[in-house]
Amino acid sequence: MFSTASRTLEITVISGEDIRNKRKPVKKNVFAVIRTDSQPLCRTETDKDGGSYPYWNEKHNVDIPVHARFITVEVQCKTSVGDKTLGMATIPVSDFVGGFVPQSYLHFLSYRLRDSNGERNGIINVSVKAKVPEYAASSCSSATTIGVPFGKTSCYGGVVPGVPVGVPIMKQYYQG
C-alpha cells in the first residue's frame, strides 16, 4: 500500500432516520455498507431494535484512494431472502476534505437516501474525520483537539415532518 496514494478516514456511521422498504417503515435488521469505487470499505452490524430509526454509532477506520471523489453509503436490510438495498447516498469527498476548516475537523454529515428508482428514502447520519499523519498534525497544531464524539445522543433530534421531535422543550442545552 502506498501511503501517499490513500488517505485514512475515521468514519462513524451514526444512525438512520425513517428508513423505508416499499414506503413502509422497516421493522428491523438494517445495516449500512460504505464503499468507494464500488469497493466495500466497511459495514455496520445489523441493528435489531431500531426499526426504521437504526442506530449504530460504529467507528471505522478506512483508507480511500486520494483520487476518490466520492464514497457511497448503502443502507440495506437483512431479509429471509437475502440482503436488500433500501437506499443509497453519495458523499462527495469535498464535503470533508479541503476548505478552510482544520484538516482533522470532525464533520457531522447527513444525507438523503434514495432507492434504486431514485425515490427519496430516509436520512443517514455519519461523522467523518480525516486522519492527519503525525508530522502534518504537528505543523498545524493550532487545530482544536477534538475527541471521540457521541456516547448517547443522536446528532439530530430525528425530525420527521409533522411529528413532534424528541428534544427537551425547555432548556435542552444540557443535552448531549
CB of 129 to other proteins, least distance (A): 10
Shorter beta-carbon distance to other proteins: residue 42 or 159: 159
CA distances from 155 to 6, 64, 76, 126 (A): 29, 25, 21, 9
* Residue 174, phi then psi, degrees to nearest 5: -85, -5
Shorter beta-carbon distance to other proteins: residue 33 or 91: 91
Alpha helices in the chain (DSSP H): 134-139
CB of 127 to other proteins, least distance (A): 8
C-alpha span between 61 and 100 (Å, rounded): 23
* Site for other proteins, rule CB under 8 A: 20, 23, 25, 89-90, 92, 95, 99-102, 105-112, 114, 123, 125, 142-144, 146-150, 152-176
Shorter beta-carbon distance to other proteins: residue 78 or 114: 114
- End-to-end CA, the chain: 39
CB of 170 to other proteins, least distance (A): 5
CB of 105 to other proteins, least distance (A): 7
Shorter beta-carbon distance to other proteins: residue 5 or 92: 92
